[in-house]
Amino acid sequence: MHLIKDENGNPIPHGGQEHTAESCENHGHCHDHEHSCQHCDGDHKDETTALLGYMLSHNEHHAQELEQMAVNLEKLGMSDAAAQIKEAVSEFQKGNMRLSLALTLVKEHIKEA
């Protein structure tokens, strides 16, 4: 089921409208939806590519925000907390490298198909 909600939690009907990362950004509801493809034929290549690209970019942005937070905490004399955040950012970056590789593999698979 693919359920999209507005900022107030109300379901947004979208019938046959394709849900992509671009539509998430344009309508601001990407964090408020559920998607399960158990009933699908699995052929959502464009949607998967767009959503994976969006998620990678989104995660990279969060990593940058966390890096800045660590800098700010160091300035406040909270070096232990800053160090923990830097470790978390390192893990984010490892995960983002894996997402980037997955995105490349998906795109290559689509080209070959």
Segment 60-109, tens digit of pLDDT: 999 999 999 999 999 999 999 999 999 999 999 999 999 999 999 999 99
Cβ–Cβ < 8 Å for 38, 46: no
Query: Are both 17 and 60 inside the same structural domain?
Result: no
Residues 37 and 47 in one domain: no
| Residues 5, 35 within the same domain | yes
What Å distances lie between residue 100 and 30, 61, 94, CA to CA? 20, 14, 10
Q: State the distance between the two ends of the chain, measured CA to CA, in whole angstroms.
A: 26
- Mean pLDDT score of the chain, rounded to an integer? 77
- How many domains does the chain contain in total? 2
Residue type, 67: E
CA R_g for the chain: 18
Whether 35 has a pLDDT exceeding 70, the answer reads no
Q: Residue 33: which pLDDT band, with cuts at 50, 70 and 90?
A: very low
Q: Is residue 33 located within the same domain as residue 53?
A: no
Q: Supply the range of the domain harboring residue 18.
A: 1-42
DSSP state of 41: -
Domain co-membership, 59 together with 15: no
Q: 9 and 32 in contact (C-beta within 8 Å)?
A: yes
Predicted TM-score (pTM) of the model is 0.58
Per-residue pLDDT band at 44 (split at 50, 70, 90): confident
